[in-house]
Amino acid sequence: MDTLTVDVKEAEMQLSKLLTLALQGKTVIIAENQESVVQLVPIRKRPPATDGWPASRRNAHTRRFQ
């Protein structure tokens, strides 16, 4: 696994590039005073719930009240 560690100031100047690298699967760590403080990690995309219920329970609530 590729890991890239950058200083906070460098991360500020290259945030767009670092986000792209993280989305491509590279591990991006931001350090302050040579100590790792943050890791950029993509958020997993989930299908949107249409009615606020989790997909596994989507129809269960309507069956109880019919």
Domain ranges of the chain: 1-42
CB count within 10 Å of CB 15 equals 13
Residue 28 has pLDDT above 90, yes or no: yes
Model pTM score: 0.63
Domain 1-42 has CATH 3.40.1620.10: yes
Question: Who wins on pLDDT, 55 or 34?
Answer: 34
Q: Residue 27 corresponds to which amino acid?
A: T
Question: Who wins on pLDDT, 44 or 51?
Answer: 44
Query: What is the distance between the alpha carbons of residues 6 and 63, in angstroms, rounded to a whole number?
Result: 53
What does pLDDT average to over the chain? 83
The encoded tokens of residue 62 equal 């309507």
Q: Which residue has the tokens 């991006």?
A: 28
CB count within 10 Å of CB 53 equals 13
